[in-house]
Amino acid sequence: MKSVLLIGLGRFGRHIAMKLYDLGHQVMAVDSNEERINAVLPFVTNAQIGDSTNEEFLSSLGIRNFDACIVAIGDDFQSSLETASLLKEMGAKHVVARASRGVQEKFLLRNGADEVVYPEKQLAAWTAIRCTSEHILDYMQLDDDYSIFELEVPADWNGKTILQLDIRRKHGINVLGIRENGKLNMNITPDTVLSNGKSILILGQQKAVQKCFRI
């Protein structure tokens, strides 16, 4: 269980609070808007109404006690930047900040953020990949080259084993798991048989995956 300071409770921040709650983590939520605070009270351990750019207020939260600090402010980049910088100055262990544009990402990384999330960019990439192929069920980009895809088992792979298909040698793609009836099986062996009605979780370079699955 982790202790997390979550600053900014708009839609993005609220969804983070709910997910952290599902995962069993302790969350201190901060926002200047009382209505937003009230909306997340069922999902957080504690909450404070206040201005995260106020050094005295931020210091009173005990920044060093949190395993991670998330700056989810989306409507005021200046406040986001100042908050990230103050958190790092106060000894925050790990600062994650939200960016809406590429230039914001650069400034945040230079001014206190250890990691930057870019929801709009990430969602745009997911939507573009997902919607340009009927076979892709899910997608997660790991870096500029490698991604994880969940795809339907191709018709010509039906009834064949991982060994028979020789996917890794022929295409440079690794099969990580197989999903059937909503359950994911990660115990993959060369004798694992692929069949219609299942989906496969694969890791590989995006170009290699596109070539292999003709997407």
Return residue ranges of the chain for CATH 3.30.70.1450: 122-213
Return residue ranges of the chain for CATH 3.40.50.720: 3-117
pLDDT digits (tens, 9 = 90+) for 32-78: 999 999 999 999 999 999 999 999 999 999 999 999 999 999 888 99
Give the other-Cβ count within 10 Å of 92's Cβ: 23
CATH entry, 3-117, from 3.40.50.300, 3.40.50.410, 3.40.1350.10, 3.40.50.720:
3.40.50.720
Residue 57 pLDDT: 96
Q: Residue 16 and residue 8: Cα distance in Å, rounded? A: 10
Confidence grade of residue 146 (pLDDT, cut at 50, 70, 90): confident
The pLDDT mean for the chain works out to: 88
Q: Is the per-residue pLDDT at 126 higher than 80? A: no
Confidence grade of residue 118 (pLDDT, cut at 50, 70, 90): confident
What pTM was estimated for this model as a whole? 0.69
Average pLDDT, integer, range 104-121: 85
Q: Of 4, 29, 190, 172, which is closest to residue 96 (Cα–Cα)?
A: 4
Query: What is the distance of C-alpha 46 from the center of its chain?
Result: 24
Residue 130 pLDDT: 66
Q: Residue 146 and residue 213: Cα distance in Å, rounded? A: 15
Q: What fold does the segment set 122-213 form as a domain?
A: Alpha-Beta Plaits (3.30.70)
With pLDDT > 90 as the criterion, what percentage of the chain qualifies?
A: 47
Q: Residue 29 and residue 16: Cα distance in Å, rounded? A: 10
3-state DSSP assignment of residue 200: strand
Average pLDDT, integer, range 11-35: 94
Q: Is the per-residue pLDDT at 212 higher than 90? A: no
Average pLDDT, integer, range 102-107: 84
Give the other-Cβ count within 10 Å of 158's Cβ: 13
